[in-house]
Each structure stands twice: as C-alpha cells, then as structure tokens.
Amino acid sequence: MTYQEATTYLFTAAPLFQNIGAGAYKEGLDNTRLLDEHFGHPHRSYRTIHVGGTNGKGSTSHTLAAILQSQGYRVGLYTSPHLVDFRERIRVNGEMIPEQRVISFVEQERSFFEPLHPSFFELTTALAFRYFAEQKVDVAVIEVGLGGRLDCTNIIQPDLSVITNISFDHVQFLGDTLPKIASEKAGIIKPGIPTVIGEAKDAEVKAVFCEKAETAGTRLIFAEEEEELISYEYSPASGYTYHTRTYGQLHGQLGGYCQEKNTRTILAAVRELNQAGYGITCESVAEGMSHVCELTGLMGRWQILGREPLTVCDTGHNVGGIQYITRQLQETPHRYLHIIIGMVNDKDVNTVLSMLPKDAVYYFTQASVKRAMPCDEFARIARKHNLQGTCYGDVWTAYHAAKQNAGKSDLIFIGGSTFIVADMLKNIL
C-alpha cells in the first residue's frame, strides 16, 4: 500500500467531514472508547492540553506548542483540518507523522476498526494519540475537532483546558443560539482542571461557562479580565508588538487582527501551565510567539503569499472570523481590493456576504470538495448583497485572473473557506 492509497482509504472508507459535512458527523464516544482501549489508552502516557472554541483554536494550539517546544519539551500537536497534506494534522516538534506510519496504521489495524464503521476523525484521533505515545512526547496539544462535549478528543484528562471564544458555526450540530453552542464547547471543562476562557462578552455565554465550572468544581480564568497584556501595536509590515507585564516586549509572527485576542488567551494559558509546574521562561514565550510558523508548520493565518501586489490568504470562514478580516482588509493600505472567495454550503453565507466590502472586485470560485457551494450559485447570492465580480470554476484560475488585473499597489485576498485557502496553497507549495 502506498501513502496515496492509505490516505484515499481513510478519506473514503471513513466519512470525511470536510468533504461531505453532516453525513460524516458521528455523535457519541463509543467508537472512540473502543479504539482507545484497543490501543492501550495511549494518551495516558503523556501530559495534554485541550483547546476548543469556535475561532482561534488553531492559532492558539500551534502557538502553545511552539512555546513548549522552545522550552525544550517534546511536543505532540493534533489539529484539523489539514490544508495540503493529511499529515499536517499530526506533528511532533513540528515534524509531520511519516507517510510510512500512516500506511502501517491502515494495513495493521483495519481488520479491527472496519467492523466499527468509525468516522474519519475517530480514526485520525486514535492514530494521533497512539503515535504521540510511540514518539514518547512529554506533552500533546490537542485541538477539539467539533464542539467539545461529544468530540472524540474529549477522552483526555488534560492539565489545562482552553476555550477561545464562541461564535456561530456548525449550528446544525451544536445549536442555533450562542448559549447552546457554548454548552457544547463547555463539555471540555472537567473536574479539578482549570479552564482558560479567551472571550466571553455575551452574558448568557459566560453564565453557561460559570455554571459548568461550578458543577465540575473547577476554576475558570477569563483572559479578557487578566492584566498580562498591557498594550500592543500592529503594522502591516512588521506585524504585532505586544507589551506584557511578565514577558516584556514580544513580537507576534501571526498578523491577523484576531491575534490580539488569541495572545491574551495564550498568555493566560502559559501562566496556568507554569502554576502546574511547566517552568516556561520569558525567553521561550518570546521564541514561540515570534517563530510559530517555522516551529509548527502553521499556515493560512493572514499568510502573506506575495508583496507586489500584496497577496494574503486567511482561513477565517464564519461570522466571528470574517469580522476581523473585513476590518483588516479595509485598514491595510491598497489602491484597489481584489477578493477571491468561495464558501461551503453549510455556512451562514448571507451574513458573511453582508459583512464584506462593497468597493472590491470579486472573483467568485469554489473549492475542490463536495461541500463547496457551486460558483454560480454563490455569485448569484453575492450580487444580492451588491458584491460585483466574475465567476471562476477553480481557485487557481481565479487567482490568475486577479493577478493579471491587479496593480503593484493593489491588495489580493484569498479566503471565505478553509478549503479555498487549501486549494491555493496546494498550487504554490
């Protein structure tokens, strides 16, 4: 079996959420527990940190991993979805799981897991947890896949839980109100384990977290109420400079406007980890913050792909993420704005489109996944929101059209969906 055959098997034998959406979602932890028992409960052999929330959990997970690596820990990192290669999901000290390990997992274990009819994410989580044990990691940063309460990562007993924020996303699974979504996300709050809440401005959302913590008999830390981050500056050329009480001046490599919120969350998490004995130094925080992409392989977060014209991609894809992107597009110096955009068919398309700038040239397109909204349908809805542009059948064609039309002082943005960014990166990496 080749690596291509192994990943094709995983993508087709087990339903892949990023391709088909709701049909891949499995509620409950029965399969997860059976797989975990079969492999000998591997996650119990190393420390863990659990990161959930609607937006920002990927950036937060990668940055915490980078900081821990800088401190000298051997760090497992489990995130989703991948952009270019399946192996991005499972890393040790930034290195992707070897192709051969993916092959051997499928070849050796399929006779056990096939009768269970597991989801793609259940299988991938089992592989990640086992690989981290094999690699003798000291600690693993585990990103929640969907929700929290019934997510198959929720079998771990972490040193710390982190919930970045609550926004509308996956409402068909998690609920159609913020408190309902918060209740699902709060499922990672566990007895005796402190939980950092990155953002909880909504009073009802905050009440959900407080009630869950009280029931669990554990402590909440609201990052917005901490006084670690004194001030910050941002410039399109140099990114973020943060001034902190404990760590001095920090440079943030990640440049999206949402990163200020994420940084408050990360610094609150580091303090809690140090209280748990991690011994993270100021130097390690500075190193991890300033080199997170090199240390962990993070891509797609306000990632600059070119300078003349300035070309940026970002995986923000829901109302919570788009609000930051829209403001940053408007405030980034440019002559004309070109937006290459597509979405998947289970998102709040109308609300997202209503937030986008009207004075841009749009290149409507679709990603190469089954969930992608057809380009012509997406363009038709966009025009109802007074967004004008042309339809292109794939991302690369749309990019070439934008590149041809744009001047050196223009701004090209690629986004609207994680999978739009993925298609772009596959063509340039």
Share of the chain above pLDDT 90, in %: 82
Q: Determine the residue type at 246.
A: T
Q: What digits encode the pLDDT tens for the residues 91-106?
A: 999 999 999 999 999 9
Q: What is the Cα 199 distance to its own chain's centre? A: 16
Report how far residue 57's alpha carbon sits from residue 51's, in angstroms, rounded to the nearest whole number: 6
* Cβ partners under 8 Å of residue 396, min gap 6: 423, 424, 427
- Long-range contacts at 103-111 (CB < 8 A, ≥ 24 apart): 103/1, 103/2, 103/3, 103/5, 103/6, 105/6, 105/130, 106/1, 106/6, 106/9, 106/10, 107/1, 107/6, 110/9, 110/13
Same domain, 320 and 401: yes
Same domain, 34 and 87: yes
pLDDT band at 429 (very low <50, low <70, confident <90, very high): confident
User: Helical H runs in 186-249?
Assistant: 203-216
Q: Is the peptide bond prior to 98 cis by the omega test (within 30 degrees of 0)?
A: no
Q: What digits encode the pLDDT tens for the residues 282-331?
A: 999 999 999 999 999 999 999 999 999 999 999 998 888 899 999 999 99
- Hey, which bits of 268-373 come out as E strands? 303-307, 310-313, 337-341, 361-364
Same domain, 362 and 285: no
pLDDT at 28 over 80: no
Q: In 10 A of CB 380, how many CB atoms?
A: 12
Q: What digits encode the pLDDT tens for the residues 335-356?
A: 999 999 999 987 789 999 999 9
Report how far residue 68's alpha carbon sits from residue 285's, in angstroms, rounded to the nearest whole number: 8
The last residue of a domain, from among 296, 311, 344: 296
Same domain, 114 and 235: yes
Report how far residue 347's alpha carbon sits from residue 172's, in angstroms, rounded to the nearest whole number: 10
Same domain, 311 and 230: no
* Cβ partners under 8 Å of residue 362, min gap 6: 339, 341, 379, 382, 387, 388, 389, 390
Same domain, 237 and 280: yes
Same domain, 164 and 284: yes
Same domain, 52 and 192: yes
Same domain, 256 and 324: no
pLDDT at 24 over 50: no
Strands 90-92 and 95-96: antiparallel
Phi, psi of 91 (to 5 degrees): -130, 150
CATH (domain of 34): 3.40.1190.10
The count of structural domains within the chain is 2
Q: What digits encode the pLDDT tens for the residues 117-149?
A: 888 999 999 999 999 999 999 999 999 998 888
Nearest to 373 by CA among 382, 365, 384: 365
Structure tokens, 14? 């087990």
Structure tokens, 289? 């913050």
Res 315: pLDDT: 94
Residues 224-249 have a mean pLDDT of: 93
pLDDT at 208 over 80: yes
Same domain, 341 and 221: no
Report how far residue 296's alpha carbon sits from residue 288's, in angstroms, rounded to the nearest whole number: 9
Report how far residue 386's alpha carbon sits from residue 372's, in angstroms, rounded to the nearest whole number: 22
Share of the chain above pLDDT 70, in %: 95
CATH (domain of 321): 3.90.190.20
Same domain, 356 and 372: yes
3 state SS of 278: coil
Same domain, 292 and 309: no
- Hey, which bits of 144-268 come out as E strands? 160-163, 195-197, 220-222, 229-235, 239-244, 249-252
The residue segments making up the domain with residue 353 are: 303-428
Report how far residue 302's alpha carbon sits from residue 315's, in angstroms, rounded to the nearest whole number: 8
Residues 194-220 have a mean pLDDT of: 94
Q: Is the peptide bond prior to 81 cis by the omega test (within 30 degrees of 0)?
A: yes
Q: Determine the residue type at 359.
A: D
0.75 exceeded by pTM: yes
The last residue of a domain, from among 271, 296, 321: 296
The last residue of a domain, from among 280, 296, 312: 296
